[in-house]
Amino acid sequence: MWNNFLWVILPYLIFASFIVGHIFRYRYDKFSVTAKSSELIEKRQLMIGSILFHVGILFVVGGHFVGLVIPKSFTEAIGMSEHTYHIIAVGIGSVFGVMTFIGMFLLTYRRISHKSVRRLSSSGDIIVNLTLLLTLLLGILSTLFGTKEVPGFDYRESISIWFRQIFMFRPDANLMAEIPLLFKLHILSAFVIFGLFPYTRLVHAWSVPLSYLKRRYIIYRKNPS
């Protein structure tokens, strides 16, 4: 029962919350979509942590997309062996995973330890930071130690297939039955992130200022007086 709930029912509950939450936020609270910048309070830790996190998370998300969405048969068809794929995935994934974790740790430490920043933060902000930190930690531990519990475990033959089946509306919970515990905890913590996404500051990810790339330059002239 629990296996079916966690890997068949829960993903759709999270997905529904993700969609409905965004619709509600846009219709009734769209002007709250902001990161509530605290740069004027403290800049150094914010700059370092933000750069590490945002650069790292782009590669982490990209790596998850490749691992979960692209079938194993595709990489084999283009001549990439399982050993080569594993070396690339673990090597690059570990580097950017650790980078993202360090960035989030600095941002979380700054938010909790700096009195003025903490005063500006809501309880939701702190929960989001801690949840992201936990998810990243579990991801790193899964990559480095998760397969020791189940020798020879290949997530592309179980988790990836289950993930793609979700979007085909026929997820097989049996594929997740023998998954190592660290991987399960990582996935469940990611569910929490997606569940919180539309109701917290995470939603500011959709407000990336892409228009800045095509707008005209702003020219500043010095006042001679």
Binding annotation for heme b: 54, 64, 186, 204
Running DSSP on this structure, what letter comes out for residue 216?
P
- Of the chain, the end-to-end C-alpha distance in Å amounts to 77
Helix (H, G, I), strand (E, B) or coil at 10: helix
Cα distances (angstroms) measured from residue 114 to each of 40, 52, 110, 126, 213 = 13, 19, 6, 13, 34
Proportion of the chain in helix, strand, coil states, percent, rounded to 5 = 75, 0, 25
E runs forming strands in 88-207: none
Q: Are 111 and 126 in contact (CB under 8 A)?
A: yes
- Annotated binding-site residues read 54, 64, 186, 204
122: left (phi over 0), alpha (psi -120 to 50) or beta: beta
E runs forming strands in 98-171: none
How far apart CA 62 and CA 163 sit, in angstroms, is 15
